Amino acid sequence: MKFKKRILCIGAGYVGGPTMAMIAWKCPDYRVTVVDVNSQRIDAWNSKELPVFEPGLDKIIKKTRGKNLFFSKNIEKGIAENDIIFVSVNTPTKTFGSGAGKAPDLQYWEKTAHQILENSTSSKIVIEKSTLPVKTAAAMEKILTPAKGKAKFEVLSNPEFLAEGTAIKDLENPDRVLIGSHETKSGRKACQELVNIYARWVPRNKIITTNIWSAELSKLVANAFLAQRVSSINSISALCEKTEADISEVSRAVGMDSRIGNKFLQAGIGFGGSCFKKDILHLAYLCNYYGLPEIANYWESVIKINEYQQERFITNIFSSMFNTLTGKKICILGFAFKSNTGDTRESPAIHITRKLVAEHAHVTISDPQALKNAALDLADIHENIKYEEDPYRATAGCHAIAILTDWDLYKKLDFRKIYKSMTKPAFLFDGRNIVDHKKCFEIGFNVYPIGKPAMSHFKIKKKSTISL
Ligand SMILES: NC(=O)c1ccc[n+]([C@@H]2O[C@H](COP(=O)([O-])OP(=O)(O)OC[C@H]3O[C@@H](n4cnc5c(N)ncnc54)[C@H](O)[C@@H]3O)[C@@H](O)[C@H]2O)c1
């Protein structure tokens, strides 16, 4: 079949794979190729067991793979043959040298730019899909300037706003698509080319076009705002625990204000995932770079509260279980950083498990999708750790359960059956506030939610009211 357009995506990860699958599905007359340096990933995309778990993804892959969607290891050929190139490589935080732990590590991005330059003999539109610091397009253009022959490059910024766990829904029906371009004739022409792709299924009023720097910055800011809401409600959950206010009631009351809204107002053990922390770190790094340390400090506090929330959770487990965890069996229900994904990058479960094991607890980890990744994250721990997908088998014989991921499955568990199989007194630490606390308490559990009074069968001395 002769295709109308040919698109390449460099980087076959959580963003590159699903995003290109959606484009291929919605534009059957476009040929879409996804390439990656990681050959195992490409093999997995070409197999039955996809490297990314996302509800609905497998169905779209089935409809498109081998027809107009291809996964390939041949990056050079891909660049040479395609005129529209998305770059969706990883942009982690630097772990070495200057800016370690703060600055973005742009080595993958830069390598890609050089590869594009070396393998291009015709003009191309290069699209930043990765999340990048504002002004990266300028660096990209510098690398691409000495192109061979008459080849010219137009760089666009098209940051991705999908959320893992709902990626397909988000891609099919996005709140908005953002495209940043230079305000030149060639910039606007390239922008229109990309608008035409999305306009196949996204209403035109949801496709926003801006200048390229606004687009780059907007993505960092969107993630920073989302993370900030999580830290804001979590900070209040700590105050609720001291005052007998209930965080769910406070969230509801606050969120019903239409100026505030009710999304991202659920207290829990804090955010994880590969993006929020790194994007805030990079935003703060940029602020410092541009001589704005006060702004950098403001955003860094969002990360500090996130870490504090996890520490509070661990301290609560420790102190509630009589200040010793040695030899006690604790079941972690949920290791993914959120439900409906197998992704464990920056999952709070990693830190919490490590702390529990350091206290010589015997930890069993259960998760419907993330056990493979959990085992990789904890590969250096050889003792006192077990993996068991079945939550009933995982909890049997345990002293305590810690719910760390908001999987639907955990809301529906038979806690009476679980309680019977556990060592008594049985503890339940609900790090996501997803189960019926009153019911679990009545079954016999000592229940410790986030931002609500603990429900314990032991006698607790109540703190008296504040003296004014
Ligand atoms: N994961 C998310 O939810 C999400 C959402 C929006 C935006 N983003 C952003 O999108 C970008 C990609 O994120 P991801 O989660 O898909 O990362 P990922 O690590 O899952 O995938 C990146 C892929 O790029 C490949 N790669 C690196 N250098 C390469 C090169 N030179 N040539 C070919 N392939 C190369 C890696 O092997 C990897 O498979 C990041 O900038 C991230 O911040 C992520």
User: Quick one: what percent of the chain has pLDDT higher than 70?
Assistant: 97
Phi, psi of 46 (to 5 degrees): -90, 0
158 lines ligand 1 (CB under 6 A): no
Nearest CA, atom 27, ligand 1: 89
Band of pLDDT at residue 2, cut at 50, 70 and 90: confident
Ligand 1 centroid distance, CA of 422 (Å): 42
Query: For residue 464, is pLDDT > 90?
Result: no
Torsion of CA 321, 393, 389, 362, to 10 degrees: 30
In a domain, 375, yes or no: yes
Examine residue 55 and say whether the peptide bond preceding it is cis (omega within 30 degrees of 0): no
Domain, as residue range, for 444: 309-448
Shared-domain flag, residues 19 and 100:
yes
Band of pLDDT at residue 461, cut at 50, 70 and 90: low
11 lines ligand 1 (CB under 6 A): yes
What token pair was written down for 250? Answer: 């406070």
Q: DSSP string covering 398-433, please? A: -SEEEE-S--HHHHT--HHHHHHHSPSSPEEEETT-
Burial of 150 (0-12, 13-18, 19+ CB in 10 A): exposed
Shared-domain flag, residues 379 and 261:
no
Shared-domain flag, residues 301 and 313:
no
Phi, psi of 143 (to 5 degrees): -65, -40
In a domain, 459, yes or no: no
Query: According to the model, what pLDDT value does residue 465 have?
Result: 55
Shared-domain flag, residues 233 and 169:
no
pLDDT digits (tens, 9 = 90+) for 230-265: 999 999 999 999 999 999 999 999 999 999 999 999
Residues with Cβ within 8 Å of 132's Cβ and at least 6 positions away in sequence, in order, are: 91, 104, 106, 109, 157, 159, 216
19 lines ligand 1 (CB under 6 A): no
The dihedral through the CA atoms of 146, 151, 157, 163 has a sign that is negative
Ligand 1 centroid distance, CA of 91 (Å): 7
In a domain, 453, yes or no: no
Which of helix, strand or coil describes residue 179?
Answer: strand
Say which residue the tokens 């089935």 belong to. Answer: 62
In this predicted structure, which of 41-55, 146-160, 343-357, 403-417 has the lowest mean pLDDT? 146-160
Mean pLDDT value across the chain = 95
251 lines ligand 1 (CB under 6 A): no
Which residue, of 288, 306, 324, is where some domain finishes? 306
Ligand 1 centroid distance, CA of 130 (Å): 7
Which of helix, strand or coil describes residue 378?
Answer: coil
Q: What is the mean pLDDT of residues 136-161?
A: 87
Query: For residue 311, is pLDDT > 60?
Result: yes
Query: According to the model, what pLDDT value does residue 146 have?
Result: 72
Shared-domain flag, residues 258 and 137:
no
Which residue(s) pair with 402 in the sheet?
A: 332, 429
pLDDT digits (tens, 9 = 90+) for 65-102: 999 999 999 999 999 999 999 999 999 999 999 999 99
Shared-domain flag, residues 376 and 422:
yes
112 lines ligand 1 (CB under 6 A): yes
Q: How many residues comprise the chain?
A: 468
281 lines ligand 1 (CB under 6 A): no
Shared-domain flag, residues 59 and 178:
yes
Ligand 1 centroid distance, CA of 361 (Å): 35
Query: Do the beta carbons of residue 234 and residue 306 sit within 8 Å?
Result: yes
Dist. CA 319–CA 88, nearest whole Å = 44
Query: According to the model, what pLDDT value does residue 384 have?
Result: 95
Band of pLDDT at residue 55, cut at 50, 70 and 90: very high
- Of the residues 27, 191, 240, 275, only one is catalytic, namely 275
Dist. CA 161–CA 100, nearest whole Å = 26
In a domain, 215, yes or no: no
In a domain, 212, yes or no: no
13 lines ligand 1 (CB under 6 A): yes
Q: Which atom of ligand 1 is nearest to the CA of 132?
A: 41
Query: For residue 123, is pLDDT > 90?
Result: yes
Query: Do the beta carbons of residue 328 and residue 362 sit within 8 Å?
Result: yes
Shared-domain flag, residues 231 and 190:
no
Residues with Cβ within 8 Å of 234's Cβ and at least 6 positions away in sequence, in order, are: 267, 268, 270, 305, 306, 309, 450, 451
Side chain identity at residue 436, one-letter code: D
Query: For residue 50, is pLDDT > 80?
Result: yes
In a domain, 209, yes or no: no
Domain of residue 334, CATH code: 3.40.50.720
pLDDT digits (tens, 9 = 90+) for 182-234: 999 999 999 999 999 999 999 999 999 999 999 999 999 999 999 999 999 99
Q: State how many domains the chain has.
A: 3
Phi, psi of 347 (to 5 degrees): -65, 135
Shared-domain flag, residues 158 and 129:
yes
Is 287 considered catalytic here? no
Query: For residue 468, is pLDDT > 90?
Result: no
In a domain, 454, yes or no: no
In this predicted structure, which of 136-145, 324-333, 386-395 has the lowest mean pLDDT? 136-145
Query: For residue 467, is pLDDT > 70?
Result: no
Domain of residue 227, CATH code: 1.10.1040.10
Query: Do the beta carbons of residue 121 and residue 44 sit within 8 Å?
Result: no
Q: Which atom of ligand 1 is nearest to the CA of 15?
A: 16
Query: Do the beta carbons of residue 280 and residue 224 sit within 8 Å?
Result: yes
The dihedral through the CA atoms of 11, 106, 210, 184 has a sign that is negative
Shared-domain flag, residues 265 and 315:
no
Query: According to the model, what pLDDT value does residue 149 have?
Result: 67
Say which residue the tokens 């009351």 belong to. Answer: 253
Shared-domain flag, residues 189 and 57:
yes
How would you classify the pairing of strands 124-128 and 84-87? parallel
Q: Which atom of ligand 1 is nearest to the CA of 38?
A: 37
Dist. CA 144–CA 151, nearest whole Å = 10
**Eight-state DSSP code of residue 463:** P
Shared-domain flag, residues 128 and 191:
yes
Ligand 1 centroid distance, CA of 179 (Å): 19
* Edge-first strand listing for the sheet containing 400-403: 385-387, 362-366, 329-333, 400-403, 427-430, 446-448
Dist. CA 113–CA 387, nearest whole Å = 41
Q: DSSP string covering 319-365, please? A: HHTTT--TT-EEEEE--SSSTT----TT-HHHHHHHHHHHTT-EEEE
Ligand 1 centroid distance, CA of 219 (Å): 15
